[in-house]
């Protein structure tokens, strides 16, 4: 499972990372609330460990932003002098808190408890390798794409794009995000490159590419696969 650790003190983030990685978790790091929110654009996060007092954007505002879109556990880190903020954080969507300085083993126990609850309530659905949106099916195990049970032949790049969008159905990806995740390199004016591939994918999966059912454009933002 992926855990995001956000604290403006690098030493604390690094220490927490060691304990989490030793227990088998994948760790993403951020040093203010704005960086934490950005991580969600490139990774699927199952739990957040969020400090309250940070520059740029504090943990309270970041938690509010995260809660607008995601129903994942948030564990807040707070100093003893931040009791008011701690209560506010819990009221605004945090699930638990740990007071600094903390015992790393206690933190790890709370993480496990929150994740158990998250999984048992059915909020977390592990990916199976098969992604569906109506009649569109992407089978990543077989590396196949089908529309209404008919196979669709895609190039490797087209397949990567459709897989990215299908496994995150309903989520909008900007052109930069698509380019960076599919081509695995920084984007420099990728508009035409991505647009050409999107057009070709539509021609292959849509009955009427000019009125797409699956692959939709969100004007001024990017593209998404519709949840059907």
Per-residue pLDDT, 135: 94
Per-residue pLDDT, 167: 86
Per-residue pLDDT, 118: 78
How far from the centroid of its chain's Cα atoms is residue 4's Cα? 10
Among the listed residues 166, 167, 155, the one whose alpha carbon sits nearest the alpha carbon of residue 197: 155
Domain 130-225 classification at class level: mainly alpha
Q: Regarding predicted confidence, which is higher, 211 or 228?
A: 211
Q: What is the pLDDT of residues 28-56, one digit of tens each?
A: 999 999 999 999 988 889 999 999 989 99
Query: Is the predicted pLDDT of residue 94 greater than 70, yes or no?
Result: yes
Task: Sketch the domain layout of the chain as residue ranges.
Answer: 2-120, 130-225
Q: Which residues of 93-121 are buried (b: 16+ CB within 10 A; e: fewer)?
A: bbbbbbeeeeeeeebbebbeebbeebeee
Query: Is the predicted pLDDT of residue 127 greater than 60, yes or no?
Result: no
Q: What is the pLDDT of residues 128-152, one digit of tens each?
A: 688 889 999 999 888 999 999 999 9
Pairing mode, strands 26-30 and 2-6: parallel
Per-residue pLDDT, 142: 87
The CA distance from 147 to 142, in Å, is 15
Domain 2-120 classification at class level: alpha beta
Q: Regarding predicted confidence, which is higher, 208 or 221?
A: 208
Q: Regarding predicted confidence, which is higher, 191 or 111?
A: 111
Domains 2-120 and 130-225 share a fold: no
């Amino acid at each position: 499972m992926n855990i995001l650790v956000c604290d403006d003190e690098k030493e604390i983030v690094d220490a927490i990372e060691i304990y989490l990685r030793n227990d088998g978790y994948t760790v993403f790091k951020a040093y203010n609330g704005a960086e934490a929110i950005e991580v969600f654009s490139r990774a699927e996060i199952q739990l957040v460990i969020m400090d309250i007092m940070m520059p740029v954007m504090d943990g309270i505002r970041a938690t509010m932003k995260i809660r607008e879109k995601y129903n994942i556990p948030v564990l807040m880190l707070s100093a003893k002098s931040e009791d008011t903020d701690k209560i506010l954080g819990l009221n605004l969507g945090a699930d638990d808190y740990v007071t600094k300085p903390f015992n790393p083993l206690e933190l790890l126990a709370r993480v496990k408890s929150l994740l158990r609850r998250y999984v048992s309530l059915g909020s977390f659905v592990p990916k199976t390798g098969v992604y569906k949106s109506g009649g569109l099916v992407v089978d990543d195990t077989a590396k196949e794409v089908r529309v209404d049970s008919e196979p669709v032949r895609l190039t490797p790049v087209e397949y990567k794009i459709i897989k990215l969008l299908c496994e995150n159905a309903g989520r909008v990806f900007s052109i930069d995000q698509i380019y960076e995740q599919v081509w695995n390199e920084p984007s420099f004016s990728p508009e035409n490159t991505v647009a050409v591939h999107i057009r070709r994918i539509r021609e292959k999966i849509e009955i009427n590419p000019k009125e797409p059912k699956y692959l939709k454009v969100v004007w001024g933002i990017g593209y998404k696969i519709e949840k059907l």
